[in-house]
Amino acid sequence: MSNISEAEIFPVLKGKVAIITGAAQGMGRGTAEVFLKAGAKVVICDIKEKEGKEAAAELSRFGDIIFVRTDISKSADVKNLIEETVAKFGKLDAAVNNAALTPDKTPLTEFDEDYWDKLTSINLTGTALCCKYEMQQMLKQGGKGTIVNIGSINSFRPQPNMPAYTACKHALIGLTKHAATEGGPHGIRINAIAPGAIYTEMSATALKSMGVTEEEFTRSASLLNRFGMPHEVAQGSLWLCSDASSFVTGVISKMGSTQTSTFSVPRVHEGKLAVVTGSSRSIGAAIVRNLASKGCNIIVNHATAASDQLASDLCQELEKNHKVRTAWVRADISKREDCAKIIETAKARFTDPKTGKLQIDILIHNAAIAYVGPLEGVVEDEFQKIYAVNVLGPILLTTACVPYLPTDRSGRIVMMSSINAKVGTPNTTLYAGTKAALEAMARVWCRELAERATVNSINPGPVMTDMYLSASDEIKKLLALWNPVTPLAPVRPSDSPEVREIGERIGGRAAYDHEIAGLVAMLCSPEAGWCTGSLISANGGLSFSY
């Protein structure tokens, strides 16, 4: 853990009385220490009596503090906490509702009702009871006071397999906002803090149950790539309980989050795994960037040693920019043993440590080779090679992945076809034939795999990859034959100077790789669950999807 020095604390709570729940350890204890140093008289509570008394004894060197054993899920205990506070110190000015149970690690489809009830009774009902009786006391005193509820990054960004914890932390945000509307007219301010990765005994226990290291977790949980410390969260609570925040209420403050705004892009694939073939560069790289931006873990596949560095660099980029887990595998998917190597890599890197199971949620068949030439120029070796990579490869890899696909229809398989199969571009006998085969396979597989995954195809036309941009004008003009009847081909002022120059010369532009990646992502989204066996046109309107 990084040694983060504590900020200087000024006596901004001098003369005030504060309750801090769940303060026998972790963030609660850290908050109690900061509040004492800021001049407050502090009452800490916890269900752990021995640890709570020890904490109060150790913290007493900083100021006046008492411990009251409290089970916040019980009204009588919370009422007693308030009464003990007033009996000892005469009033209540501030409260930090921090008590909570450790996150669960159970899928919604397998949750235990008793555990759900126990967790919600503390993490939600308990916090509501604290707000109820704290506000009642503040009203008895004539109004005014501050309350801080401690939420979680789960309040905004659910983590896998934490349904009860996530539901409570989402609800806590609504509770805070409602409480602020009731308290506002009486000068009672209620706010919440949603910490990200904070290093406490609770977080250490949660990491162990999740089977991930600190380094792996913080890459996906904090823009700062480290755990926060309890005293850092305490500083947020200190500010919200001080007069410096006197015009702040109903606010949810994120601390250490991967999100910079409540309105950030939803990560609809959080925790999922995608295998994308031919993805070290070009369209494949654009696809994995799109999926990773939505929270998807990625296996980058390529076929040659020359692409090893590109694949490695891309994985590092995805992990840094999107806080996902990645792996790259050099494998020729036209060989059964190489497909097995992809699965072995997936097992080693992405098997759920609790269930011991691997799930592959998304499979994108993007890898392909092309031979261009007239019919009479076709040779047998080229035929065998292109059909092995473009057709047999997807068959072998899908076969290898089938045992690991979801069983609830949430899986997604996308086949990268081509406009050539539909419009019959001259000199593409071999290439167009393989792409037509992919479309036919998608229609068959969508029936065979219906309970596991949707299977669709898209058919891009020319795409502005490095290969396209470096091609001769002769090739570009051949690919531009249908630009006059392609609605989206005309260039626009918003296009780059290079694209405008090419487009004006040959009568229209090709697609950007991110436009193709966007269509793939659309088919991979939960919203596309009723679309299968379809060919989605991805060519600017040159052909239509029917």
User: Could you tell me if 127 and 179 are in contact, meaning their C-beta atoms sit under 8 angstroms apart?
Assistant: no
CA-based max dimension of the chain: 98
Closest to 129 (Cα-Cα) out of 87, 90, 82, 91: 82
User: Could you tell me if 37 and 64 are in contact, meaning their C-beta atoms sit under 8 angstroms apart?
Assistant: no
Active-site entry in 237, 435, 534, 543: 435
- Give Cα 298 to chain centroid, integer Å: 13
496: CB partners within 8 A, 6+ apart: none
In whole angstroms, give the CA distance from residue 84 to residue 80.
6
Closest to 362 (Cα-Cα) out of 246, 437, 276: 276
User: Could you tell me if 63 and 41 are in contact, meaning their C-beta atoms sit under 8 angstroms apart?
Assistant: yes
Angle between helices 336-350 and 393-401 (to 10 degrees): 40
Q: What are phi and psi of 415, to 5 degrees?
A: -100, 130
The DSSP secondary structure of 320-348, one letter per residue, reads: HHH---EEEEE--TTSHHHHHHHHHHHHH
Write the CA distances from 432 to 8, 132, 281, integer angstroms: 69, 69, 22
In whole angstroms, give the CA distance from residue 120 to residue 135.
21
Measured in Å, how far apart are the chain's first and last C-alpha atoms? 57
Q: 404 catalytic, yes or no? A: no
Q: 512 catalytic, yes or no? A: no
What residues does 298 pair with on adjacent strands? 274, 326
Length of the chain equals: 546
Q: 417 catalytic, yes or no? A: yes
In whole angstroms, give the CA distance from residue 513 to residue 520.
11
In whole angstroms, give the CA distance from residue 234 to residue 394.
53
User: Could you tell me if 363 and 401 are in contact, meaning their C-beta atoms sit under 8 angstroms apart?
Assistant: yes
Q: 435 catalytic, yes or no? A: yes
In whole angstroms, give the CA distance from residue 162 to residue 490.
49
User: Could you tell me if 124 and 117 are in contact, meaning their C-beta atoms sit under 8 angstroms apart?
Assistant: no
Active-site entry in 220, 431, 534, 543: 431
- Give Cα 361 to chain centroid, integer Å: 15
Active-site entry in 418, 457, 534, 543: 418
Active-site entry in 282, 417, 534, 543: 417
Helices and strands: H and E segment counts in the chain: 20, 14
Residue recorded with tokens 């800021």: 38
Closest to 117 (Cα-Cα) out of 161, 151, 70, 164: 164
Phi-psi region of 282 (alpha: psi -120 to 50; beta: other; left: phi over 0): left
User: Could you tell me if 537 and 529 are in contact, meaning their C-beta atoms sit under 8 angstroms apart?
Assistant: no
In whole angstroms, give the CA distance from residue 511 to residue 1.
46
Q: Which residues are catalytic?
A: 417-418, 431, 435
